[in-house]
Each structure stands twice: as structure tokens, then as C-alpha cells.
């Protein structure tokens, strides 16, 4: 968002944590924490964008629309994007393609377009270290019997044990609609937009659209 400080950019996402990261990195000064005048970030719903109509010169939507689970919701999300840009403004939309024969995913024409994709998260957890064995020394009593006593340097039993971090993998399933060739352009037209340019790039279909 801070690539060009001569323009004002507003970023939004449904995730409050991602929005906070964007705000911290782009919408405030890292030293003074004062708000910058060239960027802002907020939590927003793609089907209920809180922006004025006909306001922005451009909009960018990357890897968002393919997460909506019905054609009606995907078309409605395009309609909301169109509503935010001024007449003559443009929007760029990227979605995952069904045609990914050459990628590691291997999706291709004829497969189901609605899929669940596993995302592996790394969760940090605490693991207790094992206490070292108690070393004992011999003590000779008056009777001549040897007794095993703990070393004086041994830590008390009630003291908290040291802990170290370990990573545990957690798998989450995310819904994707894989767009086939021409489908994104069709959604744009149904939403009331016009396609200026479209194409295929890195396993994605994209369209540059206007009102």
C-alpha cells in the first residue's frame, strides 16, 4: 500500500489480524506510530464494502472472489467492487484457475471446480524439558553405613522446569471455486461491468474491468 506515496490507498480484508499487519506496516509511521496520510487499512466484508460509491480511481482484488461459495455471491462481490470505482476507473481481479495442468496442484478441465484446499499452519507450543537425574553423594554415618544424599547444587523439586518451544502442524481446509476460462469475464458482465483486458497468469485468470 505504500508503493506510491503520491496516492491514497485503502486496504481491507475480512481478517482482523491481517488487517492489523497491513495497518502496522503501511498505515502508520514505524517510529512515531502516527497515522500516515497515504494509506489506511480496515476490516471489511467483500459483500458489504463500507466505501462511498464512485469514489476510487482503481481497485485491486487478488485471491478473494474464488472463496465465495455460490455464483450469486461471486457476482455480487464483483458488483460491489464496481460500485466503489468512479466512472472511467478500473479494477483488477485475480482468481484461481481450473486450468493448472503444469502446476504442482495439477487441476485441469473436467475436474470439480469446487474444492477444499488444505492449509498447514505452524502452531508454537510449549514442551517441558526433562529434569536431569539427581546426582547423589555418599555420606558415612557413625555406624559405618553409607547413605545417598542429594548434591547441594541440585535445584529444589518445586522450582518450575525450563520450557522450550516446539512447532505443531495444524491443517485447515479452505474452500476455493476454480474458475474455468471465460467464467470470470461472464461474472463481470452479469455484475454490470465491462472487461477491458483479461488473461492467464501463474495459475490464475485475471480481468481488468470498468463500469
- The model's pLDDT over 74-120, given as tens digits with 9 standing for 90+, comes to 999 999 999 999 999 999 999 999 999 989 889 999 999 999 999 99
Place of cell 480511481: 57
Q: Closest by alpha carbon to 113, among 187, 43, 165?
A: 187
What CATH number does residue 193 fall under? Answer: 3.40.50.150
Same domain, 91 and 190: yes
Q: Are residues 21 and 103 part of one domain?
A: yes
* Bridge partners for 128 per DSSP: 163
Are residues 13 and 67 both part of a single domain? yes
User: How many residues does the structure list for the chain?
Assistant: 211
Domain span at 135: 119-170
Helix or strand run (H / E) with residue 127: strand 114-128
4 found inside a domain: no
Q: Is 114 contained in some domain?
A: no
Residues 21 and 94 in one domain: yes
Taking the CA atoms of the chain, what radius of gyration do you get in angstroms? 29
If asked whether residues 16 and 103 sit together in one domain, one would say yes
Find the mean pLDDT for residues 137-160.
49
Q: What is the pLDDT of residues 109-147, one digit of tens each?
A: 999 999 999 999 877 665 555 555 555 555 544 445 555
Same domain, 97 and 196: yes
Kindly state whether residues 95 and 20 are assigned to the same domain. yes
Per the domain annotation, does 3 fall within a domain? no
53/32 same-domain check: yes
Total domains in the fold of the chain? 2
pLDDT at 22: 92
Amino acid at each position: 500500500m505504500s508503493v506510491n506515496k503520491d496516492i491514497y490507498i485503502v486496504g481491507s480484508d475480512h481478517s482482523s489480524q491481517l488487517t492489523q499487519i497491513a495497518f502496522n506496516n503501511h498505515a502508520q509511521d514505524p517510529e512515531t506510530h502516527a497515522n500516515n496520510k497515504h494509506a489506511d487499512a480496515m476490516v471489511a466484508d467483500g459483500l458489504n464494502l463500507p466505501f462511498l460509491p464512485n469514489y476510487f480511481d482503481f481497485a485491486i482484488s487478488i485471491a478473494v472472489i474464488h472463496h465465495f461459495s455460490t455464483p450469486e455471491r461471486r457476482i455480487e462481490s464483483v458488483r460491489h467492487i464496481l460500485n466503489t470505482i468512479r466512472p472511467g476507473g478500473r479494477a483488477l481481479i485475480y482468481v484461481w484457475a481450473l486450468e493448472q495442468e503444469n502446476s504442482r496442484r495439477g487441476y485441469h478441465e473436467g475436474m470439480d471446480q469446487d474444492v477444499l484446499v488444505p492449509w498447514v499452519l505452524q502452531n508454537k507450543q510449549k514442551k517441558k524439558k526433562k529434569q536431569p537425574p539427581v546426582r547423589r553423594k555418599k555420606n558415612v554415618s557413625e555406624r559405618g553405613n553409607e547413605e545417598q544424599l542429594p548434591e547441594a547444587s541440585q535445584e529444589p523439586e518445586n522450582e518450575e522446569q525450563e520450557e522450550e518451544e516446539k512447532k505443531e502442524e495444524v491443517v485447515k481446509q479452505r474452500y476455493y471455486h476454480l474458475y474455468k476460462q471465460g467464467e470470470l469475464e461472464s461474472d463481470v458482465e452479469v455484475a454490470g461491468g465491462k472487461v477491458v483486458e483479461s488473461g492467464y497468469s501463474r495459475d490464475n485468470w485475471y480481468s481488468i474491468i470498468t463500469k
